[in-house]
Amino acid sequence: MIRNDEEIVELIKLANEHLGVIGFTEHGLRHASIVARWSGSILSTLGYPDEEIELARCAGFLHDIGNFICRTNHGQTGAAILYTMLRRFPFTTRQLGKVLSAVGNHEEQYGQCYNETCAAVVLADKSDVHRSRVRAYDPANHDIHDDVNYAVTRSDLIVDPDLREIRLDLDIDGETASMMDFFEIFMSRMIMCKSSAAYLGCTFKISCNGTVVS
Question: In this structure, are residues 144 and 181 in contact, taking their beta carbons and an 8 Å threshold?
Answer: yes
CA dihedral 87, 14, 196, 97 (to 10 degrees): -10
User: How do residues 161-206 score in pLDDT, each as one tens digit?
Assistant: 999 999 999 999 999 999 999 999 999 999 999 999 999 999 999 9
Residue ranges of domains in the chain: 6-212
Question: In this structure, are residues 103 and 75 in contact, taking their beta carbons and an 8 Å threshold?
Answer: yes
Question: In this structure, are residues 50 and 204 in contact, taking their beta carbons and an 8 Å threshold?
Answer: no
The rounded distance, in Å, linking the Cα atoms of 64 and 78 is 7
The rounded distance, in Å, linking the Cα atoms of 174 and 139 is 14
C-alpha atoms less than 13 angstroms from C-alpha of 185 in its C-beta half-sphere: 14
- What pTM did the predictor assign? 0.95
The rounded distance, in Å, linking the Cα atoms of 5 and 13 is 12
Strands 152-160 and 165-172: antiparallel
C-alpha dihedral sign at 112, 44, 48, 200: negative
**Mean pLDDT, rounded, of the chain:** 95
Place 1 in a pLDDT band, splitting at 50, 70 and 90.
confident
Distances (CA, A) of 209 to 142, 178, 199: 23, 11, 27
- The gap between the terminal CA atoms of the chain, to the nearest Å, is 38
Question: So what's the architecture of 6-212 in CATH?
Answer: Orthogonal Bundle (1.10)
The rounded distance, in Å, linking the Cα atoms of 6 and 9 is 5
Place 35 in a pLDDT band, splitting at 50, 70 and 90.
very high
Question: In this structure, are residues 185 and 165 in contact, taking their beta carbons and an 8 Å threshold?
Answer: no
Q: Which of 178, 116, 189 is nearest to 151 (CA)?
A: 178
pLDDT (0 to 100) of residue 108: 81
